[in-house]
Structure formats: C-alpha cells, structure tokens
Structure 1
C-alpha cells in the first residue's frame, strides 16, 4: 500500500505525503506552493477563475481537461499531470493562447484571465474541434468575465486554439505518457490512520474491503458535489475514499440492448455514447454544469447523492434504467426509481456502494423526450426537469413512463398521468387532458428561490404537452385541445409553444 500521492508537473514527479482528506488543489497551489496565478472566485465551481488543466492518458494519447481546482481534492491528482497558468510560458515566451489574449485585449481587470487561459489551453490541445464561435462559447461556458469582455476572449480563442498543438506539452507528450505509465502502479493508496485518512483503492476488491471497515467514510468520484460540502458548508470529512483509480469503474459499454455506464465514468467520457442512445440525452448532457464540471463529475455520483434536482435521474428513470450495487455481502440490482426513498434517503446499506447502471435503448416504437428548465441556459440548477418515454402503436400510446425532478423530495414518476395517457391518441389532443390533470395528483411541488409551486406545476403540464406534440409530429399551431377541460389544456399548450 502506498502512503503518498504522485503526479507530474513540468515534466517532474511531485510526491505528497502530508495530505489532509479535504485538501483542495487550489489551496495546495496558493497556500503551499505560493503559486497565486490561479484565483479563487466563487469557491463552488461556477466561475472558472480557479481553472487548471489535468492531463491523463486516454486511448494512448494525452488528453487535457479543464478542472475547477477549488472543488478538486488534491488526492484526485494521483497518476495525472497538473498544468497551471505559471507553467505555460517557456524561456520567456508566452504560450500561444496567452499571446493571443494579450494581442487581442482579452484581459481587462485580469482576475478571470488565468482561468480563461487554462480553459483555452485545453481547447488548444483538444482533438477534432471545428473553428467556430459555437465551439469556443461552449468550451468557455464555465468561465465568467465580470467585465463582460467575452468578444476579445472569443477572438483570441479563434486566433490561437484550432491549429495543431505545437508547444512544450505536445513536444514531450511521449515522455509524459511514459512517466504516467510508471506512476500507475496499481497499488492502493492510504494516507492517514483509522481516525482520518485519504484512501484511493485501485480495485473493487480494495474498495469493498476498506468501505466495509469504514462505512462512515465519504465516497468521492468527481467531487463536484462533495467539494461544495467542504468549501460552502465547511463540513469536516475525516475519512475520504476516492474512486477515480478503480479499474473498470469508469467503463462505458454500448450494446444493441442499451448502455452500461460505470459509476466512475465522467459525463465527458460517456457523452458520445449517451448522444448515440438518444439525441435528447445528448442535448441534456451539454447543459449539465460546465466543461470543467463534466470533465470531473460522474453520473454515478449524481445518482448516489440522491438530489431531488439532479438532472440525470429523471431521464434515466423514464428510460427504465437499473442500478448496480456492491458490498462485502454481494451484488444486487434494482430499478433506479426504487433507489430514491425520501429526501436524503436512498436504498443503500452500510458498506454498500453504486458500481454502475444500465440504460435500455429506446425501441423503434418508442419516443423519448427530456427537457431541462432553468433560469440560465448554461451551468444552472434545474427548476423542473421532465422526461417522457412513450410507446406508440397505431398512433395511440400503449404505455407511458414519465418522470420529473424538482417536483418532489425525490426524482419521481407521474403514475396517475401515465395511467391516464394509456390509450390516448396522438391525433386527438382532447384525449390528453386527463393526463394533464393527473399531474396535480402526482406532485405537490414546493416553492423556493428557483421557482414557485404553481410555476412548477404549470411548467410540468407544458412539458408533457410539448412531448406529446413532438411525438404527434403535428404543427403546434394546428393543435386545438378539446375535451372535458379545454381551457386547462389550452393554457398548457400555449406555455409549451
């Protein structure tokens, strides 16, 4: 068992032995190394001022991802390469993205500039990106400029980021890959003792053993949620087990039946496969957090933490996903919808952990739609998240699976509305009215800073109408809802349009 973490920086191995479980990369840089180019802004992974680049070997090539260092645990760097803004200039010459930012006046007050530089550095090294404003703005969605200087920043990106990488990092890529291979020793890591530790098992067997001994430990995958427990809630987490080195936990396996995703797979790693499973899921994925969040955060963590406003569970529940769990007592599977018991409570025992989930592929006679409603398009928490799987035979709905997030204490199916939709005709909107009424029986949403209860209910009805209209293939302007309560349904149709 190893008692240190090891990572690369500037071509050299850095070994850290004195490590507290909740030490962040940002605090290590600013307080220990006194490298203050990396800034602390929001301390919750929203503003991007703290962005650094983390490099790992993917399919035999170096891949650099932007990471929010304020919520990334220092221990998560084990086996990776760390690149910070001070590392980019070589022999007195600015890196190409730095020079472009200077030449095109992309820096104003300068506070956000290091974060933008590091995000652009990862774009500079990304493969297969098209030179377009859309590509740049999507890549920079997790970096905020308070001086509203986005135009020159985008111009700097267009000017510098889309030619073949030609810098010190690309020149020594082969050596870096070899060095990272040597660091990957497949040994379990444990820094600390029984009262407090940072652990990083290298196998499921190692995780099972240490978690059985310490079921009170906090499991961490990407830390995009747990990091906020540390920085915002000031929680003490004496025992932390990081899952990022466990072989096979990051699997993404496609089959004709569906998609198997390991609990350690990041949003970024499974985005392409998710998009092939469903274009709607692919569109949803691009609105979950930012590039930085998707590079670190995992779908398994989004599920395991049990948030009622998590973006992925409603969509996966509607598709009929099943969850895999493991403990020293053995393995088990259960429908994802049964995992959520109540607010903050999940069907998971002491020493038991999520290993992955399976998402069935929609069948040819099924229509799947999902929609996220939030105040901002990018990087915002859902007010309402709705997902719909409709099985259609002869233009009639033979089965419906509807799930919402943000409407109850847990992600929850709309059983009354589902039953009311069975037998409804897509060609006759008047047959949809009972399902719209049924949502009132299925949910009693709360009011909070994101939305009122009334807004949530009306939005849920509108999203159901939107899904039905899209499934019908009819121009919304031509639909006129008729039935026992036409005013009720018409309002929902207008909101959906």
Structure 2
C-alpha cells in the first residue's frame, strides 16, 4: 500500500481528499469543508436519516460490472470508507433548481415537507429506490426503504404517496456509464494508505494483505461498516488510533452456497447477508425486516455485528440456534469455533491478537430430521429499535415428532448471547407437545437471571422469553395437535428434576 489521498467519484469527476482526519465523517466533510449543506445533521448516530446520501459501487464480474446504488448514513461513515466509490447527495438530484428530479417533484406535489429538515434524507432514500426499481414497488417495500428516515411534522402518508407518484412522472434514470468508467479508473489505483492529522488508515484489498497487516498491527481498530464504531467518535469522542478498514477486501464480501452449506464472508453487508440467509432458511424474513434500518443494513456487515459481541446483537441468537460456526484467521492460519463459544464475557470474545473474523457458516438440517426454526426480536418499536429480548429457536424432529435436537438461544438475557441449556435438555427426547414446551418454559428460570435496564425489567425479560418459546410451539405444532391455552411463566411450577428422566 502507498500513501495517497482518498479518491471517489463526486459531481462528475474524481474528487480527492487530503488533510482530513481518518475519522472525519462524510457528513462533517460535506457540510463543514465543502459547504454542501443540503445533507443535514440530526442525531449523528445513524437513526434519523437526515444525513442520508447514496453511495455507488461496482458489482459483478470484471469487465461486466454494474453500478450498485445504496442509501447510507453520512454521519457515521468515515471518509476513507468512500475511497474507490461514487457519492451522490441531494444537490445532485437537481443541479438546476427549475428541473427537479421526479422524487423531488413528487414530494412538492404531495406536500411531503413542512419544516423540510428531514426532506433531503427522504429524497435520497427515494432516489435509491427509484434507481433500483424500474416500477413502483408495493407499499411494504416503500415503508422498509423509509425505515431509516424520521419525519416529525408532515407524517409519512404524503411521503409514501410521493414515492408512488415519482414513478408516474416521466422516467429520468441516472446515466450510469460515466460513473462506471470512473469507478473502474479508481479500481486501478493502489490500495489506500491514508495519513492525516497524525493518524493513519489502511484499506487492504486482498485477504492476504489484510492478514499480514493485522499481524503487524494487532492493536489497530478494525472497521467494517462503521455503524457502531462511528458512534464511538460522534457520540463518545474516542480516539480510535490506527485504523484498518475492511470494506475494500472483496474476498470478505463473498457468499458461497453448496454442499448443504451457506458461507457468508465477514464483509458482506447486512442487506446482502439477510437476503442469503432468508433464501437458505425462509424464517429469517421477519428478523431481516426488523433488523435496523435500510441505510444501516446497507453499510453494516454481518461479521461486524457478530464480532461486536454485544449481548443485544439481534443476529447472534438466530445464528447460534442454527448451529453457526465462525471462521477466524490469523496470518495464513484459520480456525473454526461454534459461534456460542466465541463469546467469553460481556463484549469479550475469543479473538486472539492478530486475528480477525473471516466468515460465518451454516449447515442445512441433517436428514431425515425435520427442522423447525424461528427468530424474533421484542422491542418497543417495530423499526429502528434495540431489542429487549431477541430469540432464535431450532428443533429437529424425527418421524414420530420426537425432539432429537434442540438449540434455543437468547440475546438481552445475559452478558453474552447465550444458549438455554436447561430448556434444551427439557425438550430433548420428548414428543413435540404442550407438556414438553411447558417443561422448556419452566426450565428457562435455570438458564437466565436477566438484568434490568431502561429497556426492560428482569421479570419482563424472563416472561417474554418463555412466551416466545410458547409461540414457537404454537407456530410449529404438528397438524391436528390439540391447542394449548396460553400460559404465563408465573403459572408454571419450577421444573422437577425427575421430570427430565
């Protein structure tokens, strides 16, 4: 890697950045350095969407690449992460004020703005949707697209109407060929080694470069999508020291399916990872819909969510329930752990100095067993909220509807994402029946002593965990099974050890 400026496609040309600190955010650079103030600052943590911009990257085989456009939050994107990409802001939609883009014109016609502060972010999210869909999508997709944009005065009805109306106006797609040509030119540059303000940021492009760099700099901060690490700077004012950005390592962005296994590289975005997971196991769909906002999923990675080690990370309980393994690499050596063994204590993992997360793997259910799987999160809001409890359940039944394997995992119930060992034992070898599920519910008291915080009390968390397990049975009960009257955990006596015999 050689020292050079950060370079990206912007306003019709390749734009170079020098002198800005590696942890300077794209939003700060736009507003304070370039004085492009259409992009607004609201929360500075990727929640409100006022700072939404659209980033373009090449996707596909060399020589046949296509331009992929996705909305992201500028407030938590460090400038080096833009290297080699294309950037579009609200000013790009209508360079001439008299010639509004269809999404802007539709917002005007539908009165989709009052104070206007949030409107540029809405326009950019709708622009990304407009570019990615040739025809108007259904209401649910529009809602999901706007899940990261908050409006506190106009309300969402006129904005959703504007999304539909934009497609009824004369089509005006982006001319992609100049952008693709510029991105190919940027791809020919050497990997970025950026130094400014006494700080250094590295952007390796191959797995070998990353492995060697990580061995040499074991204390450097690894940054994938920045959707969590970005807040350490914008909200906590932390000095992150030397950075290693993972976004340019194509080998970490690969998804492999074959021989009954799904492998997701650590650098795969949450958007792409959830699409692969849902194709592999359709019951991922609900969690995929509720996991963060569209801009956060477009930037954040599944590997980053797992490596973060948060006890309330939504993906881990579901992955653990499905028996996921994590692939770690140090130098040229790799090792594999069961995902639940990766977490040692509160935000403490089994990563060794110089090691990084390379991939996650999932296996198809073993024949001839039938696997039932569900993943849920319980939070105060449907969108954009941190879980009070997250759950992942998988049971494998034989032809007689007897539980032969059981994996139950929860987030928000302990210092780490954790399996419910006692509840699993209560299910094993028993018929998949109301009596069995009652044993599992009661056994949860042995597995967890949840904490109380601003999101939920200990008692509430334990009750919700039991209710989710009961819901799991209700949704997967054998055909013709008798219904069960919903129970509260408090109504169940503590499990009798002899009942397991």
Which category describes the TM-score, using the shorter chain as reference length? over 0.9
Moved more, 404-413 or 12-21: 12-21
Instruction: Name which of 303, 320, 336 aligns with 1:333.
Output: 336
Shift of 1:362: 3.2
Q: Which residue in 1 is equivalent to 2:107?
A: 101
CA 1:194–1:158 in structure 2 vs 1: closer, same or farther (change >3 Å)?
closer
Partners of 1:279 and 1:477 lie apart in 2 by 26
1:141 aligns with 2:147: yes
Partners of 1:151 and 1:344 lie apart in 2 by 41
Unpaired segments ≥5 residues, structure 1 = 490-497
Partners of 1:325 and 1:197 lie apart in 2 by 25
1:452 aligns with 2:453: no
- Length-normalised TM-score, structure 2: 0.92
Shift of 1:96: 1.2
Instruction: Name which of 81, 88, 101 aligns with 1:83.
Output: 88
CA 1:162–1:460 in structure 2 vs 1: closer, same or farther (change >3 Å)?
farther
What does the per-residue CA deviation read over 1:119-164, in whole Å, with 9 as the maximum and x for residues that have no partner?
A: 1110110136653322211110110001042111111110004789
Partners of 2:212 and 2:197 lie apart in 1 by 14
Unpaired segments ≥5 residues, structure 2 = 494-501
CA 1:154–1:52 in structure 2 vs 1: closer, same or farther (change >3 Å)?
same
RMSD across aligned positions (CA) = 2.2
Q: How does 1:370-385 map to 2 (within 5 A)?
A: 370-385=375-390
Shift of 1:474: 5.8
Alpha-carbon contact 1:131-1:162 (below 8 Å) kept:
no
Q: Which residue in 2 is equivalent to 1:183?
A: 186
1:31 aligns with 2:32: yes
Instruction: Name which of 195, 218, 239 aligns with 1:215.
Output: 218
Shift of 1:314: 0.7
What does the per-residue CA deviation read over 1:175-194, in whole Å, with 9 as the maximum and x for residues that have no partner?
A: 21111011002622111289
Q: Which residue in 2 is equivalent to 1:365?
A: 370
Instruction: Name which of 479, 483, 492 aligns with 1:488.
Output: 492
Q: How does 1:153-164 map to 2 (within 5 A)?
A: 153-161=159-167
Q: Which residue in 2 is equivalent to 1:494?
A: none
Q: Which residue in 2 is equivalent to 1:46?
A: 47
- Length-normalised TM-score, structure 1: 0.93
Q: Which residue in 1 is equivalent to 2:158?
A: 152
1:69 aligns with 2:74: yes
What does the per-residue CA deviation read over 1:367-419, in whole Å, with 9 as the maximum and x for residues that have no partner?
A: 11111111101111111011111011111111111110000000000111101
Question: How many residues are paired up?
Answer: 484
Shift of 1:470: 1.6
Partners of 1:487 and 1:24 lie apart in 2 by 52
What does the per-residue CA deviation read over 1:255-281, in whole Å, with 9 as the maximum and x for residues that have no partner?
A: 241210000000112232211111221
Alpha-carbon contact 1:327-1:353 (below 8 Å) kept:
yes
What does the per-residue CA deviation read over 1:6-50, in whole Å, with 9 as the maximum and x for residues that have no partner?
A: 100122000112231211000000110011111110111011000
Alpha-carbon contact 2:112-2:154 (below 8 Å) kept:
no
Q: Which residue in 2 is equivalent to 1:416?
A: 422
Moved more, 57-66 or 437-446: 57-66
Moved more, 357-366 or 408-417: 357-366
Task: Specify the SS of the correspondent of 1:286.
Answer: helix
Q: Which residue in 2 is equivalent to 1:406?
A: 412
Alpha-carbon contact 2:223-2:245 (below 8 Å) kept:
yes
Alpha-carbon contact 2:20-2:196 (below 8 Å) kept:
no
Partners of 2:379 and 2:260 lie apart in 1 by 32
Q: Which residue in 1 is equivalent to 2:393?
A: 388
What does the per-residue CA deviation read over 1:283-307, in whole Å, with 9 as the maximum and x for residues that have no partner?
A: 2112111110010000000011100
